[in-house]
Structure 1
Amino acid sequence: MKKVHLTKVTQKNKEFFVMVLDPRIMIELLERVKPGTSQEAQRPWVVPKVKEISRYVAGKIKISDDYKAMGLIPNAPILSITKKLKIEKETVSFLEKGSTVKRDNYFIMIPEEFEYEKYLDSFVTIDGQHRIRGFDKEYRDPLFENSIEYEMVFCIFEELTKNERRELFWVTNAKQDKVTSNLLRLIKNYLGLLGTSELVFDVCNLLNDEDISPLKGRIMIGSEKVTKGYKEAQLSKVLEKSQVFSTLNSLTKGDSELICKVYSSYLKSWENVYKVSFESPDNTPLTKISGIRYITFIMPSVIRILQSKKLQFTTKSFQEIIKHLDEVVGTNVFEDDNVSLAFRGEGATVKMAKDHGTSLEAYHSTLGSDYNPLEGI
């Protein structure tokens, strides 16, 4: 047996301990539970998640196109010990400033490799079992060699009731706020890990900062909260998936400010035609993220129409195209109750936008190449 020192933690008269140990040892002493099996105080564990952690630890997980994860696990799994092991205390004396001081040290005797079989099921996981099972020989990645030094921090409890175990699992899961994709994108941007999406992120920042933008102050960057605002992650996804960003990025040769100007002009044209304000949104679908998704997925069609007529991308040009939308599709999609359901699902909104964009292109193609939507203005 090997002595492993513990650090005692006290919270409201309840003691638990912090231990540092190689997880390749811990997995040999962990309670044996088959994947998918129900457990008293936590959810069943699944093989795919264990394999993903194994790949992460081995450094195979890519955070971005050119950056691989370090494979560190700094957060501590929570476990309780069974009667096979015991937390022990020893009192040591030492001199401090000329006086003899006594201190209680805590430790646990951890089995050596030849003793593993005897001490199976010595630890029961309360939280973090996937992190530990990622070091199981059955799932361990070949790149993660035995010679690699790797320790983890573990929180160790003893003599817990079933309800106490359930509470610990609950407080470490249900009571923790999930990190939003918005905040993760901001952090990845700070680290330079967004790759090509960094350019889209920059455009969203400009749309949120520039006076010319109808979305100024309305875009939630990172953990910011804005009433009826638009999450940067959602807007970036819309700009990318609609191919509006790639189209404008190509046309402007990567000029983010010019992309911001063109997209702002496009948004203003919708405000003018439908008498709404993105700065002061109301209950119309147009001023919600579903409405922005709809009009952005129409934008490639509008761009092609203006290109075919060799017209500039100005607010007036845009609105002279989209003002025919109601006529083309036979209704005001933002006020028609029969259409409103399409704004409740992303897939339905995108399909409707693409169909309506195609209809707009067909309509304007019948007007002839000499048609000038700016004539007389």
Structure 2
Amino acid sequence: MAHAVKSGNADREDDNRLRYSVSLVKQGKHQFYTLTMPSEILANTCTVTTRKEDPQKGFQRELDEKRAEEIAHYIDNGLGTIPSSIVLSAQSAADLKIVGRGKTLEFTNTPGAFLILDGQHRVFGFSKAVTSLRVPVVVYNGLSRKEETRLFIDINTKQRPVPSQLLLDIKQLADVETEAEETLRDVFDLFHSDLNSSMAGRLSPAEASRTKITRVTFNYAVKPLLPLFSSRSAEEIYEILNAYLQAILKETSKKSSVDLLAKPVVFRGFMGIFRPVAQRVVDRFGQKYRSQDFHEVISPVFSNLPIAKLEKPGSSWTTVRDYLERRLSSKLEL
């Protein structure tokens, strides 16, 4: 158990010294101490050095206050835990000492005692939170600024974050989906599993892919369209979008041997013109949304289309959308 060294204690240097039980860990040429520390002590003693603040020696990114506020809200509302360790480097202001036969770490409770190597937004969040937590901490001691910078680089390049598409795929299990995310998941799953899906074999539910449409790409493309379907079920949304994409697939398969709808940039480009296409379908055929009706409206876009525009679309889906939208408008007949 950690405690502030009280007046009268034989080991007391001053009333601002703190002690925590620690374990020594050796990894390669480095060694560090592991312990837990109250979040308010971390908030008081830790600092970061950004490139903006110190161009010569700074290496941290600038703090995002909104992200810190979200962490504080998460803590104060008792929503869960933050079990990952904060990684620190003891500075001269800490006057760090190992006492008690190597089992106790002692330092001065003062701002700037520790430089944060990993976890700066968590610590910033702690400073904004009312609730106190015991937080796992790793403390390096005696590092040069060169060593601190190298450790920062290693921590931020060797650790791979969980892919966004996997997080979307498992949010249902954690029961943390928003209503929109739930709808998008259901629609995506129908496209992935239905035998009549225009996107069969073109979707990647949980892994990153350059040759398939991930949940992240799908959500970016379809989420702006959800207000159009406010009163419809996921099954109805799927049926309408599937009819639209079947019409597109009918034309792209004639124009090219390349699977164009599996290209994220092309997929998002076509989804970007769904609204004006759907409006033309409603105006001409009513609210039936049959594939042949979508085809009637979209097929002129492909007339004399230089297919290389879609086979090699570049990296900007908005450029593809704007190009398709111009072609759609130019083919309009009243």
TM over 0.5: yes
Q: Within 2, Cα distance between the matches of 1:6 and 1:276?
A: 68
The partner residue of 2:280 within 305, 318, 327 is: 305
Residue of structure 2 equivalent to 1:314: 290
Residue of structure 1 equivalent to 2:307: 334
Query: In structure 2, do the counterparts of structure 1 residues 300 and 42 end up closer, same or farther at CA, with 3 Å as the change threshold?
Result: same
Q: Within 1, Cα distance between the matches of 2:45 and 2:181?
A: 44
Q: CA deviation at 1:301?
A: 2.8
- Structural mapping, 1:38-77, within 5 Å: 38=54, 43-47=59-63, 49=64, 51-59=65-73, 70=79, 72-77=81-86
Query: In structure 2, do the counterparts of structure 1 residues 7 and 293 end up closer, same or farther at CA, with 3 Å as the change threshold?
Result: same
Q: CA deviation at 1:261?
A: 2.7
Does 1:28 pair with 2:11? no
Q: Within 1, Cα distance between the matches of 2:236 and 2:177?
A: 24
Query: In structure 2, do the counterparts of structure 1 residues 342 and 69 end up closer, same or farther at CA, with 3 Å as the change threshold?
Result: farther
Q: Is the 8 A contact 1:41 1:126 kept in 2?
A: no
Three-state SS of the structure 2 residue aligned to 1:293 is helix
Residue of structure 1 equivalent to 2:12: none
Q: Within 2, Cα distance between the matches of 1:32 and 1:206?
A: 47
Three-state SS of the structure 1 residue aligned to 2:169 is helix
Query: In structure 2, do the counterparts of structure 1 residues 306 and 161 end up closer, same or farther at CA, with 3 Å as the change threshold?
Result: closer
Does 1:106 pair with 2:103? yes
Amino acid at match of 2:328: G
Three-state SS of the structure 2 residue aligned to 1:354 is helix
Residue of structure 2 equivalent to 1:152: 135
Instruction: Note the alpha carbon deviations across 1:9-56, whole angstroms, 9 max, x for none.
Output: 232464321121123223433458588323777624535x2x335423
Does 1:128 pair with 2:119? yes
Does 1:219 pair with 2:203? yes
Q: Is the 8 A contact 2:51 2:57 kept in 1?
A: no
Q: Within 1, Cα distance between the matches of 2:193 and 2:139?
A: 49
Residue of structure 2 equivalent to 1:356: 327
Aligned residues: 313
Q: Within 2, Cα distance between the matches of 1:213 and 1:167?
A: 49
Q: Within 1, Cα distance between the matches of 2:55 and 2:88?
A: 14
Residue of structure 1 equivalent to 2:88: 79
Q: CA deviation at 1:320?
A: 2.7
Q: Within 1, Cα distance between the matches of 2:181 and 2:103?
A: 50
Amino acid at match of 2:298: I
Q: CA deviation at 1:60?
A: 6.8
Q: Within 2, Cα distance between the matches of 1:231 and 1:149?
A: 39
Q: CA deviation at 1:233?
A: 1.4
Instruction: Note the alpha carbon deviations across 1:141-173, whole angstroms, 9 max, x for none.
Output: 4xx33xx33221110122234443233212210
Does 1:239 pair with 2:222? yes
Residue of structure 2 equivalent to 1:260: 238
Amino acid at match of 2:281: L
Q: Is the 8 A contact 1:81 1:158 kept in 2?
A: yes
Q: CA deviation at 1:234?
A: 1.0
- Unaligned 5+ runs, structure 2: 6-17
- Percent identity, aligned pairs only? 18
Q: CA deviation at 1:201?
A: 1.9
Amino acid at match of 1:108: L
The partner residue of 1:88 within 84, 87, 99 is: 99
Q: Within 1, Cα distance between the matches of 2:67 and 2:234?
A: 38
Q: What is the TM-score normalised by the length of structure 2?
A: 0.78
Q: Is the 8 A contact 1:41 1:165 kept in 2?
A: no
Amino acid at match of 1:198: E
Q: Is the 8 A contact 1:40 1:162 kept in 2?
A: no
Residue of structure 2 equivalent to 1:95: none
Amino acid at match of 1:275: S
Three-state SS of the structure 1 residue aligned to 2:176 is coil
Q: Within 2, Cα distance between the matches of 1:320 and 1:189?
A: 38
Q: Within 2, Cα distance between the matches of 1:271 and 1:54?
A: 45
More helix by share: 2
Does 1:323 pair with 2:299? yes
Residue of structure 2 equivalent to 1:6: 22
Residue of structure 1 equivalent to 2:15: none
Residue of structure 1 equivalent to 2:248: 270
Amino acid at match of 1:17: Y
Q: Is the 8 A contact 2:217 2:268 kept in 1?
A: no
Three-state SS of the structure 2 residue aligned to 1:324 is helix
Residue of structure 2 equivalent to 1:187: 170
